Amino acid sequence: MTPEAQAPLTKKDFKSDQEVRWCPGCGDYAILNSVQGIMATLGIPRHQICFVSGIGCSSRFPYYMNTYGFHSIHGRAPAIATGIKTANPELSVWMVTGDGDGLSIGGNHMAHILRRNVDLKILLFNNEIYGLTKGQYSPTSPVGLKTKSTPMGSVDRPFDPLSFALGCGATFVARTIDSHLKHMERVLLAAAHHKGTAFVEIYQNCVIFNDACFEDFAEKGVRDEKTIDLKPGEPMVFGKELDKGIKIVGWEPQIVPAAEADLWRSDTHSPGPAFVMSQLHLDPAMPRPIGIVRDVRAPIFEEAVHDQLRAAKAKRGAGTLEQLIYSGETWMV
Amino acid sequence: MSQSKNPGSELPLQQQEEVVIRFAGDSGDGMQITGNQFTHTSAILGNDLATFPDYPAEIRAPAGTRPGVSAFQVRFGSADIHTPGDQPDVLVAMNPAALIVNIKDLKVGGTVVVNTGQFGDSDLKKAALAKNPLKDGTLSAYRVIEIDINKRVSEALKGTTLSSKEAQRCKNFYTLGLMYWLYSRPLESTLKWLDEKFVKRPELAEANKLAMQAGFNAGDIHELFQGRYEVHACDVMPKGTYRNIMGNDALAIGLVTGAKLANLDVFLGSYPITPASGILETLSTYKNHGVITFQAEDEIAAICSALGAAYAGHLGITSTSGPGMALKGEGMGLAVSIELPLIIVDIQRGGPSTGLPTKTEQADLLQAIFGRNSEAPMPVIAAASPADAFEVGIEAVRIATTYMTPVIVLSDGYIANGAEPWKLPKIEELKPFPKPFLGSVPEGGFLPYARDQHLARPWVKPGTPGLEHRVGGLEKAHLTGHINYEPENHEFMVRMRQNKVMGVRETIPTPNVFGDSTGELLVVGWGSTKGAITSAIEKLHAKGRKVSSLHLRHVWPLPKGLDKIFGCFQSVLVPEMNMGQMARILRSEYPQHNIISYPKVQGLPFRTSELIAKVESLLEK
């Protein structure tokens, strides 16, 4: 990925000629706007960028990016993106998915792309609902949620996308909120610069089928008190006055005065502390963690694949048709 | 049969034109290795041959039981050979279960070599035998050679460091040595193979060599047989360089060859499944040819990763068997919609569901042609034999890249694991068909869904400046490729994709008729039935029967000219290892002809004798 020699790109350069067809007020607009903004700062030419998606509201994303794009089938974006990136490691590959696409029908593929550590960026728009099929519960919907398919309330226990990603061995795990633009930009940039699979969960409000589901902690007025922004290397503090902190005692996080807060380490050898933080919200008294939960280096899948190709060519020479066909034991008639 | 003296032996040496041997034992007895070694040595000697491995789905079914029997049949000879043979001349049975399961197939008067060391009461019980078949008259119609192979191997390996259990695992090489002696084959090729196979455990190589030599010597010393045999090199095989090849390997080589001719790199996304895993395994050894193999987390990821690689400019391939095909359906539909080259290999096996994983069948034909949601036409081609799979691999790449379409390649378990001598093509005779990528904005602007003379759209590699565009599974507007839900556009695009695929007919040949071009009966085959049909027709011709045959490589779309050919015969007989799927297609495409279905669904290939009987019954009506 070499910076383009021409004039620097602007956000506008990344807008495609297609009319954006999300519902008015949808959180997707803010995310699209942020992504287009940060793409312009990365120094990667448009033709070297490829957006891949599955199915769902979020998965329309590639149509609106003036880059290469592949809107695929439900849940399969990780597999398609892996094929693209492995075939051409030069491309900057971005995957856009949702809580249904990425964690339900595509949960298997998501698990495996994360463990392989393919060098691409995954944006998972979590609205805790199925939007495009018009309002059924998702694997992140809370128990009790009344939807079109759960008239008496959902009895499914949800899982936390960050915990899931950590469990899969993801090397970069972060969370942000569609309405928190500055934060989103910072997290997306960190993801863009991560070498390996970057998993970013974005709390995204669905105005039609699950409006205000994150309001309790994401609303601007309460956000500072109800969320904690995990910044690598900095103390885990929160609150409007940054007066409160989190200290992990044994396996238990506790709210303490800011001065006693632990430093947040996103790069520990064990993902244990990150997992503890990813489950913080199970205690209603605790703030919701956002920010960078994990950020470590690990071997890159497609690099290892191409290293093997190079090693095989170095050892046996670049294969010719002759070698391919006239191998093994042959005889003449 | 002429007779001559073999120097160094008192036994007469007899010439035979061809022989069918079946090695049968427990799945842990190494019968597949034994059979493959015998095959390989015979191939190098210049025999024409065909093989039929038949083994259980379980890796190690309970030892000594009937379900655990693994067999390998090889037919080799000095004449042109098309099938592994209907009935063995020689059966090697390593235990009672192997004997009882296979004896019914042995030719009356044939030879059965029995390992008596494995015929104790407990062995008989494991094989669910109340009486010992060696003593109850079961074998009265055969020549029985009794050898205590267990004991002979123990004796032969006495001086080695091997435990008695390890020594017993060399039994198959004793058997191989004995058969090498009986059919006057050299040991060199297998000796070399053993050195390579056990390079890290030379003591095992030595032990197996000792066992094989002991088996070979036993022929001379113990006077088990009345004489030895010779089967001369085949003199009707066309001149050239040959190698022995199994179907999965030939297909893998054909696909890589096709990719090289198209100037593309291969990306295989695959999930292990019997009997297709060999393609993944073989392609994973071609890294120096630039071949990327990706063992995906499931069948769906396998096809989707291959499609992603195709989008990125590789030749995307995915390989599987029937159950995996079912899972790939949606991915295939996406490939049809975005119009990228992709090759889907289906090594068919018995079904439905898990079915008969290690047995052969041709029952995925309709699934291949029609098994996707909505109108999703795709070309389908089928390999006819292990060596033919090479050419089919190249043809698949040609069609996929010329027409920018996914292509299904059908093979089956019989081709995948069967082997035959493959006459290697001269490299200069392989004609390149390089696939050009669109590299810049063409005059008049870039339209991702513009069409060439084959109705193919341009292939653009991401990374190409100025051609950024989006593809997806939603219906596209003609030319621009933008999302479009208009009724007229949808019908236009459905017809466009259909016409493109049917247009493949313009670049494929009309198949030749084998035999007279007019007559009473035409036997039409596709896929792995070719050998049995050809054998049957040859024998029927020798009997003066007026019958011809035709074999289809392109099963969808069908080649042009069939209507005219069928019109020259009163009836068309379609033998196939399913309930009549090709017959159904032919009846719907050519309703004016008398199409007779001849189905067989036993997980086994047709026997030549079955086909002869069927044809004769029809001719006599």
Are A149 and A28 in the same domain?
yes
Evaluate if residue B437 carries a pLDDT over 50: yes
Give contacts of A112 with chain B, Cβ < 8 Å: 296-297, 301
pLDDT for A184 equals 98
Pairwise CA distance, residues B257 & A97, whole Å? 37
Pairwise CA distance, residues B328 & B320, whole Å? 9
Each residue's pLDDT tens digit, B509-560: 999 999 999 999 999 999 999 999 999 999 999 999 999 999 999 999 999 9
Pairwise CA distance, residues A81 & B311, whole Å? 10
Q: What CA–CA distances, in Å, run from B67 to B34, B71, B97, B100, B421?
A: 20, 11, 8, 11, 31
Percentage of chain B beyond pLDDT 70 is: 98
Pairwise CA distance, residues A223 & A209, whole Å? 22
Residues linked to residue A130 through DSSP beta bridges, in sequence order: A136
Are A159 and A24 in the same domain?
yes
- Domain ranges for chain B, please list them: 3-230, 243-429, 513-620
Give contacts of B260 with chain A, Cβ < 8 Å: 321, 324
The answer to whether position A146 is within a domain reads yes
Pairwise CA distance, residues A192 & A35, whole Å? 10
Are A209 and A239 in the same domain?
no
Please state the domain count of chain A: 2
Q: Domain of A279?
A: 228-290
Are A140 and A196 in the same domain?
yes
Give contacts of B485 with chain A, Cβ < 8 Å: none
Give contacts of A115 with chain B, Cβ < 8 Å: none
pLDDT for B202 equals 94
Closest-CA distance, B230 to chain A, in angstroms, reads: 18
B374: left (phi over 0), alpha (psi -120 to 50) or beta: left
Burial B486-497 (b: 16+ CB within 10 A, else e): eeeeeeebeebb
Please give the single-letter amino acid code of residue B582.
M
- Local structure of residue A60 (DSSP, 8 states): G
The answer to whether position A183 is within a domain reads yes
Cross-chain Cβ contact A83/B267 below 8 Å:
yes
Pairwise CA distance, residues B386 & B245, whole Å? 7
The answer to whether A197 and A47 have CB atoms below 8 angstroms apart is no
Pairwise CA distance, residues B319 & B315, whole Å? 13
pLDDT for B78 equals 94
Are A199 and A239 in the same domain?
no
Q: Locate tokens 């040819």: which residue?
A: B289
State the average pLDDT over residues B409-429: 96
3-state secondary structure B250-313: HHHHHHHHHHHHCCCCEEEEECCCCCCHHHHHHHCCCHHHCCEEEECCCHHHHHHHHHHHHHCC
Cα torsion B574, B577, B579, B582 to 10°: value is -40
Q: Which of B130, B585, B512 is nearest to B362 (CA)?
A: B585
Q: Is the peptide bond before A271 cis (omega within 30 degrees of 0)?
A: no
Pairwise CA distance, residues A102 & A127, whole Å? 12
Pick B3-230's CATH classification: 3.40.920.10, 3.40.640.10, 2.60.40.420, 3.40.50.720.
3.40.920.10
Are A197 and A259 in the same domain?
no
pLDDT for B10 equals 61
The nearest alpha carbon in chain B to A322 belongs to B427
Mutate to test the interface with B, among A2, A74, A85, A88 (most CBs of B within 10 A): A88
Give the burial class of A8: count Cβ atoms within 10 A of its Cβ; 0-12 exposed, 13-18 middle, 19 or more buried: exposed
Pairwise CA distance, residues B65 & B63, whole Å? 6
The answer to whether position A200 is within a domain reads yes
Averaged confidence pLDDT in chain B: 95
Evaluate if residue B8 carries a pLDDT over 60: no
Closest-CA distance, B495 to chain A, in angstroms, reads: 22
- Local structure of residue B142 (DSSP, 8 states): S
Pairwise CA distance, residues B157 & B160, whole Å? 5
Pairwise CA distance, residues B238 & A15, whole Å? 63
* Domain B513-620 is found in CATH 3.40.50.920: yes
Cα torsion B127, B132, B136, B139 to 10°: value is 70
pLDDT for A5 equals 52
Q: Rounded to 5 degrees, what are φ and ψ at B176?
A: -60, -45
Are A182 and A59 in the same domain?
yes
Question: Nearest Cβ partner of A47 from B269, B287, B463?
Answer: B463
* 10-residue mean pLDDT series, chain A (333 residues): 65 94 95 97 97 96 97 98 98 98 98 98 97 95 96 96 98 98 98 98 96 95 97 98 96 96 96 95 94 98 98 97 94 87
The nearest alpha carbon in chain B to A306 belongs to B292
Q: Which of B36, B21, B178 is nearest to B90 (CA)?
A: B21
Q: What six digits make up the tokens of A15? A: 């807008």
Are A145 and A258 in the same domain?
no
The answer to whether position A321 is within a domain reads no
State the average pLDDT over residues B49-71: 90
What number of other Cβ atoms are within 10 A of residue A108's Cβ?
A: 16
Closest-CA distance, B7 to chain A, in angstroms, reads: 26
pLDDT for A287 equals 97
Model pTM?
Answer: 0.94
Question: Nearest Cβ partner of A83 from B269, B297, B467?
Answer: B269
Mutate to test the interface with A, among B185, B255, B470, B471 (most CBs of A within 10 A): B470
Q: What CA–CA distances, in Å, run from B338 to B225, B400, B470, B496, B613?
A: 65, 13, 10, 13, 48
Are A33 and A181 in the same domain?
yes
Name the E strands within A99-226. Answer: 121-126, 172-177, 198-203
pLDDT for B396 equals 98
Are A67 and A173 in the same domain?
yes
Strands A68-71 and B90-93: unpaired
The answer to whether position A62 is within a domain reads yes
Q: What is the CATH number of the domain that holds A53?
A: 3.40.50.970
The answer to whether B395 and B250 have CB atoms below 8 angstroms apart is no
State the average pLDDT over residues B405-416: 98
B47: left (phi over 0), alpha (psi -120 to 50) or beta: beta
Domain B243-429: CATH superfamily is Thiamin diphosphate (ThDP)-binding fold, Pyr/PP domains (3.40.50.970)
Q: What six digits make up the tokens of B414? A: 């019989």
The answer to whether B74 and B42 have CB atoms below 8 angstroms apart is yes
